[in-house]
């Protein structure tokens, strides 16, 4: 899996102060996509073990308290990205159980297959659905278009 960007401190992609990872690769091809560069699975750089260690280190950093990790892209729930992200989210919940995980995906929740659904137990907040330009509304919170839904699976532990 490749990633495009990693922000160790981010206050705009989810609630609270967070770490945010933008993974590469998306096949939804939404018209008006904010970042077409993210469509290619070969964009960006390889997500390696050092990057995983960096994220864990940042989440454990007591000088800047992060509420959790945001996964965006690209599409973190594309099957090609799950192989690498599943061990990451499992490790975060094991080593940092008080941190939450937010995830943006172009799939609808009920479209996810069994393989993709493996990620759900580790995700606290899922924003689902393609970006539909005709339904775009800048007043929406955490969503680009009104068809998208913010699913909160777990109570915030903070």
**Strand extents, DSSP E, 11-153:** 18-23, 45-46, 68-72, 100-104, 125-128, 149-152
Q: Site for ligand SF4 (CB under 6 A): which residue of 29, 45, 149, 150?
A: 29
Place of tokens 């090609």: 80
Q: Report, in Å, the least distance between residue 92 CB and ligand SF4.
A: 22
Q: From the list 5, 16, 28, 86, which residue makes contact with ligand SF4 (rule: CB under 6 A)?
A: 28
- Cβ within 8 Å of residue 137, ≥6 positions away: 145, 146
**Please, what is the minimum distance in Å from the beta carbon of residue 105 to ligand SF4?**
7
- Closer residue to ligand SF4 (CB): 78 or 99: 78
Under the binding rule (CB under 6 A), the answer on residue 30 touching ligand SF4 is yes
Residue 152 structure tokens: 């909160």
Residue 68 or 74 having the CB closest to ligand SF4: 74
Q: What are phi and psi of 28, to 5 degrees?
A: -80, -25
Q: What are phi and psi of 50, to 5 degrees?
A: -65, -40
Nearest CB to ligand SF4, comparing residues 40 and 118: 40
Query: Of 66 and 130, which CB lies nearer to ligand SF4 in the complex structure?
Result: 130
Please give the residues from 91 up to 110 whose contact with ligand SF4 meets the rule CB under 6 A: 106
Query: Toward ligand SF4, which CB reaches closer, 67 or 72?
Result: 72
* DSSP secondary structure of 61-85: -SSS---EEEEESS-TTSHHHHHHH
Q: Find the DSSP H helices in 23-78.
A: 49-60
Tokens 């096949």 correspond to what residue?
A: 27
Contacts with ligand SF4 by CB under 6 A lie at: 26, 28-30, 33, 38, 73-75, 106, 130-131
């Amino acid at each position: 899996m490749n990633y495009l960007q990693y922000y160790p401190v981010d206050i705009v992609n989810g609630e609270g102060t967070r770490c945010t990872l933008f993974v590469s690769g998306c096949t939804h091809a939404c018209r008006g996509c904010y970042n077409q560069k993210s469509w290619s699975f070969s964009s960006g750089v390889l997500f390696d073990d050092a990057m995983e260690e960096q994220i864990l280190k940042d989440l454990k950093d007591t000088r800047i308290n992060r509420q959790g990790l945001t996964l965006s892209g690209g599409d973190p729930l594309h099957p090609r990205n799950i192989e690498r992200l599943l061990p990451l989210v499992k490790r975060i919940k094991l080593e940092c159980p008080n941190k939450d995980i937010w995830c943006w995906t172009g799939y609808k929740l009920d479209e996810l297959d069994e393989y993709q659904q493996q990620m759900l137990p580790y995700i606290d907040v899922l924003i689902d659905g393609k970006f539909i330009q005709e339904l775009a509304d800048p007043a929406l919170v955490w969503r680009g278009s009104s068809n998208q839904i913010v699913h909160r699976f777990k109570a915030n532990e903070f």
